[in-house]
Structure 1
Amino acid sequence: MPVSREILDAVVKAYDVRGLVGEQLDADFARAFGAATAEVLLPEGGRLVVGYDMRPSSPGLAHAFADGVNSRGVDVVDIGLASTDQLYYASGVLDAAGAMFTASHNPAAYNGIKLCRPGAVPVAIDTGLGDIRDLAVAVDGLPPAEPGRRSEDDLTDRFAAHVRSFVDTAALREVSVVVDAGNGMAGHVWPAVVDGLPIRTTPLFFELDGSFPNHPANPLEPENLRDLQAEVRRGGHALGLAFDGDADRVFAVDEEGRPVSSSLIGAVVADRLLARHPGATVLYNLICSRTVPETIEAAGGRAVRTRVGHSFIKRRMAETDAVYAVEHSGHYYFRDNFRADSGVIAALVLLEAVADAGAPLSQVVAPYDRYAASGELNYEVADQQAALQRVADAFADRGRCDTEDGLTVVTAGGWFNLRPSNTEPLLRLNVEADDADAMARLRDEVAALATSA
């Protein structure tokens, strides 16, 4: 059955596919999208790896997608239950295109698809995803092809060994951590990663359950950290970790349950990697704290700023041969992980830093915690560009401005970035300053200007 253009336009986003199961995503959609994916990503044939998360709808959608891929003469390697970073690893190590069925942190009613080319090269709307969307409405008109083959290959143990290669397991000291998997895929991969290591894990919600019976698998929302914070505060733990649904992002709380920003975690990991790769390039996106480039440069590395978004970051990593990249949203990218992001690799490197210090996380991040930050704030505006222009005009002679991704202004005592959402009538504001009072003044001034119309 053909897929409607209306549905395709609604569910195909800038970097992936995301929609309501049944209403927008069903077996017919997955089958047509699989055929179109094979045609666009592998026109000469080859292999495509398919993985899926714990959502009840994921296996069926993944298998229908694989049918569509096979129908175009492309072989499918089914790796079964996987985290998104495990799928990227499979794409890299097998040199195959990849499709991960997950809706990440979205509610249970949703599902989606993340795609990559062989070697875990990302696929975005302007690098193939738009072409797949356009072809999916017309796959019934494609000429018949000799069907591809289907095989299965569980790479979990190999992926776990790969993750462990980023730390010195022989010298790793004992460390105690609470891990909240949110009933997501961290419950599948984390036990394999830490098996045999001196990491004492207190697990929370490791049971795979795509209905999310305990709390949504979205650690960005403070209420979803409460169980983790309570368990950490019971004592005896150096830190706590929370993963999103597909486990490609990780967030941390210290031994008192206080959230630790992704910029501080990113700075700690950057220090570790630069000690092993002296003079290497490290990327950071333009919303990261100033402590990130300062840490990179103090460690002898080359700090390069990039736009927000994994496609931009991975492309820039390839151009600069960067060893690592930090994104403010809990994504951490590693050159030796096929330039893909991995929550579990970042988590393991962070645990190594805490274990080496013999101290809880608050003491490990204290030297990096130099500025006051607002976090990301969202403001609904009728006209995004008019609001950006008002703010730009007001700060034209008060600091250094650039428009690489929205509007970034660096003043004498701080900086802010104001950028439009790609999907909603919102402006997203991030502010950082030398102290809390200066940050609050800058935040309030920018917010007032942006919302004054």
Structure 2
Amino acid sequence: MEQWLKLQNGSDIRGVAVAGVAGQPITLQDPIVRSIGFAFAQWLSEQLGKPSNELKVAVGNDSRISAQQIKTSIFQGLVSAGVTVFDSGLASTPAMFMSTIFENHSYDGSIMLTASHLPFNRNGMKFFTGEGGLEKQDITKILTKAANVGEFTNAPTVNATTINLMDDYTAHLVKIIRNGTGSDTPLDGLKIVVDAGNGAGGFFVSKVLQPLGADTTGSQFLEADGMFPNHIPNPEDPEAMAAIINAVKTNGADFGIIFDTDVDRAGAVDKNGTPINRNRFIALMATIVLEQHPGSVIVTDSVTSTGLKWWIEQKLGGQHHRFQRGYRNVINEAIRLNAAGKESWLALETSGHGALKENYFLDDGAYQIAKILIKIAQLNMSGKGTIDELIADLPEPAEAKEFRPKIKVADFSPYADKVLENFAAFAAKTEGWSLTPNNYEGVHVTCDATAGHGWALLRKSLHDPQLPLNIESEESGGVEQIASKIKGFLSSYDGLDLPGM
């Protein structure tokens, strides 16, 4: 059982799919993938109260080199359970969810084969029903069922029906942008470049931007290549951001877009070559959402800046709810707030993962970009400025840094809990520090002007034996001042390693 559950990564399944990296043996062998496919069919049948031989499931993939092998095995497991299968080909994760609700598709479930921005040898699975993406507990159930099935050696012949899902998905995006602007070619006269990082996002140029009138000259790395030869397809990666910044500047573009491998995350660059990611991306999306839904709660993860809180609450009149790391945590909190009668129209992590209430709370980078493109077009057509001007007044910290103290103890979770408990007591009695109210993760400390003029967050990693530490300061040297006190506290623990501190 343990072998199977090690494949779980929160609400996804991930593992090593091909050889090529020393010390990383293949964990997604064909018999194991078949069992997972079979187990998903069992789980879906139980959820829907429908015999498995009446189920229809679509499977899509990003550009990974293991995609076809994994897809064949997952199909074999599904077919062995009696499921009718459909092949979406190269697709995005958001499109795979939409396959369960589009009228001309409406599959009972869908699977996206992806490992997001991880290296070429990795792959994984994300599962959807018409209710949305599966939760952590659902993945545990599926892997438990797969373990009970054991390694599935039967490999039946599969005749999957090929479908043109991405045509329907992109037509859906184009319609949204046209309806939002009142124009068939709202991007006419604008130069917009895309960096797809050789992932699955190259479609956005030919199937979304060009039909809307944009000049996409200078777009790059649009071809699917699972070896990712140019850079990691990850909007958080400095090399990836440098590549799209260069494309914007070199081509004199009005806007630059960068997607991760499976297009559930996005980042952007304004016409000046300034990145719109992390706090700036949230600020821009909050500006757009709060214009349409005044007073809405904006849910973010726990490491957003003080300036962003001011922006959402003081500048825009919204409510900032700083919650936990993990995009499912952030999205689920927004869903919970809405169910409790407190309107929340946007949930967004600094990683770029996020969702809007109007879009099924679907984690969809392309949809977020579509919302921004509507605003860009509106500003351009009215002559009221450019997108960078919308967030020009966002306060930026003087310094911000992340450290990742490592836990060397085997049973690291309870050890981390003890460290955090003691750190809270330490912070409460440190001069110039106070525990930040309404905190939902780890220990969040506010430091006054005499003690670093900023804040610090020490928390448990979601998956790794680490205690990530984020520090932000409004003054030069403030991060070092705060970090030195925290290092002094952490240094008393033999079970910790403090690289970079």
Q: What TM-score results when the alignment is normalised by the length of structure 1?
A: 0.87
> Could you tell me which residue of structure 2 aligns to residue 31 of structure 1?
34
User: What is the Cα deviation at residue 214 of structure 1?
Assistant: 1.6
Q: Which amino acid is the alignment partner of residue 133 of structure 1?
A: L
Contact 2:456–2:471, Cα closer than 8 Å, also in 1: yes
Contact 2:219–2:247, Cα closer than 8 Å, also in 1: no
User: What is the Cα deviation at residue 16 of structure 1?
Assistant: 1.2
Q: Which amino acid is the alignment partner of residue 44 of structure 2?
A: L
Q: Which amino acid is the alignment partner of residue 466 of structure 2?
A: L
Is 1:119 paired with 2:131?
yes
> Could you tell me which residue of structure 1 aligns to residue 416 of structure 2?
384
> Could you tell me which residue of structure 2 aligns to residue 319 of structure 1?
336
> Could you tell me which residue of structure 2 aligns to residue 197 of structure 1?
212
Secondary structure in structure 1 of the residue aligned to 2:15: strand
Is 1:442 paired with 2:482?
yes
> Could you tell me which residue of structure 2 aligns to residue 40 of structure 1?
43
Is 1:400 paired with 2:435?
yes
> Could you tell me which residue of structure 1 aligns to residue 455 of structure 2?
415
> Could you tell me which residue of structure 2 aligns to residue 176 of structure 1?
191
Against the structure 1 CA distance between its residues 159 and 451, is the aligned structure 2 distance closer, same or farther, given a 3 Å change threshold?
farther
Instruction: Give the counterpart of 2:320 among 303, 320, 329.
Output: 303
User: 1:240-294: CA deviations, max 9, x gaps?
Assistant: 3221111211123344544333221111112112222334333222222234444
> Could you tell me which residue of structure 1 aligns to residue 499 of structure 2?
none
> Could you tell me which residue of structure 1 aligns to residue 59 of structure 2?
50
Question: Structure 2 CA distance, aligned partners of 1:62 and 1:91?
Answer: 18
> Could you tell me which residue of structure 2 aligns to residue 8 of structure 1?
4
Instruction: Give the counterpart of 1:337 among 359, 367, 370.
Output: 359
Contact 1:122–1:311, Cα closer than 8 Å, also in 2: no
Contact 1:70–1:148, Cα closer than 8 Å, also in 2: yes
Q: Which amino acid is the alignment partner of residue 434 of structure 2?
A: G
> Could you tell me which residue of structure 1 aligns to residue 14 of structure 2?
18
Instruction: Give the counterpart of 2:300 among 255, 269, 284.
Output: 284
Question: Structure 1 CA distance, aligned partners of 2:435 and 2:238?
Answer: 33
Contact 2:173–2:367, Cα closer than 8 Å, also in 1: yes
Instruction: Give the counterpart of 1:105 among 76, 93, 117.
Output: 117
Q: Which amino acid is the alignment partner of residue 228 of structure 1?
A: I
**Residues 180-259 of structure 1 mapped to structure 2, 5 A cutoff:** 180-201=195-216, 202-234=218-250, 236-259=252-275
Q: Where in structure 2 are there 5+ consecutive unaligned residues?
A: 19-25, 339-343, 409-414, 494-501
Contact 1:92–1:338, Cα closer than 8 Å, also in 2: no
Against the structure 1 CA distance between its residues 345 and 290, is the aligned structure 2 distance closer, same or farther, given a 3 Å change threshold?
farther
Secondary structure in structure 2 of the residue aligned to 1:374: strand
User: What is the Cα deviation at residue 317 of structure 1?
Assistant: 2.7
User: What is the Cα deviation at residue 394 of structure 1?
Assistant: 2.3
Question: Structure 1 CA distance, aligned partners of 2:472 and 2:176?
Answer: 31
Against the structure 1 CA distance between its residues 372 and 340, is the aligned structure 2 distance closer, same or farther, given a 3 Å change threshold?
farther
User: What is the Cα deviation at residue 420 of structure 1?
Assistant: 1.8
Question: Structure 2 CA distance, aligned partners of 1:334 and 1:151?
Answer: 32
Question: Structure 2 CA distance, aligned partners of 1:231 and 1:141?
Answer: 47
Against the structure 1 CA distance between its residues 444 and 74, is the aligned structure 2 distance closer, same or farther, given a 3 Å change threshold?
farther
Secondary structure in structure 2 of the residue aligned to 1:426: coil
Instruction: Give the counterpart of 1:81 among 73, 90, 97.
Output: 90
Contact 1:190–1:344, Cα closer than 8 Å, also in 2: no
Against the structure 1 CA distance between its residues 122 and 302, is the aligned structure 2 distance closer, same or farther, given a 3 Å change threshold?
farther
Against the structure 1 CA distance between its residues 417 and 67, is the aligned structure 2 distance closer, same or farther, given a 3 Å change threshold?
same
> Could you tell me which residue of structure 1 aligns to residue 75 of structure 2?
66
User: What is the Cα deviation at residue 159 of structure 1?
Assistant: 1.4
Instruction: Give the counterpart of 2:394 among 335, 352, 368.
Output: 368
User: What is the Cα deviation at residue 373 of structure 1?
Assistant: 5.0
Against the structure 1 CA distance between its residues 217 and 333, is the aligned structure 2 distance closer, same or farther, given a 3 Å change threshold?
same
> Could you tell me which residue of structure 2 aligns to residue 427 of structure 1?
467
- The RMSD of aligned alpha carbons is 2.9
Against the structure 1 CA distance between its residues 435 and 18, is the aligned structure 2 distance closer, same or farther, given a 3 Å change threshold?
same
Secondary structure in structure 1 of the residue aligned to 2:234: coil
Question: Structure 1 CA distance, aligned partners of 2:74 and 2:475?
Answer: 51
User: What is the Cα deviation at residue 375 of structure 1?
Assistant: 4.7
Against the structure 1 CA distance between its residues 435 and 176, is the aligned structure 2 distance closer, same or farther, given a 3 Å change threshold?
farther
Against the structure 1 CA distance between its residues 284 and 71, is the aligned structure 2 distance closer, same or farther, given a 3 Å change threshold?
same
Contact 1:85–1:341, Cα closer than 8 Å, also in 2: yes
User: What is the Cα deviation at residue 430 of structure 1?
Assistant: 2.0
Contact 1:372–1:439, Cα closer than 8 Å, also in 2: no
Q: Judge which range, 33-42 or 374-383, deviates more.
A: 374-383
Secondary structure in structure 2 of the residue aligned to 1:248: coil
User: 1:313-364: CA deviations, max 9, x gaps?
Assistant: 3322322332221111111211222211111122232334445455565544
Against the structure 1 CA distance between its residues 450 and 84, is the aligned structure 2 distance closer, same or farther, given a 3 Å change threshold?
farther
Against the structure 1 CA distance between its residues 425 and 75, is the aligned structure 2 distance closer, same or farther, given a 3 Å change threshold?
same
Question: Structure 1 CA distance, aligned partners of 2:195 and 2:151?
Answer: 47
Secondary structure in structure 1 of the residue aligned to 2:94: helix
Q: Which amino acid is the alignment partner of residue 396 of structure 1?
A: A
Q: Judge which range, 172-181 or 327-336, deviates more.
A: 172-181
> Could you tell me which residue of structure 1 aligns to residue 22 of structure 2?
none
Q: Which amino acid is the alignment partner of residue 444 of structure 2?
A: T
> Could you tell me which residue of structure 2 aligns to residue 132 of structure 1?
142
Contact 2:234–2:261, Cα closer than 8 Å, also in 1: yes
Contact 1:78–1:150, Cα closer than 8 Å, also in 2: yes
Secondary structure in structure 2 of the residue aligned to 1:91: coil
> Could you tell me which residue of structure 2 aligns to residue 96 of structure 1?
108
* Residue-pair matches, total: 444
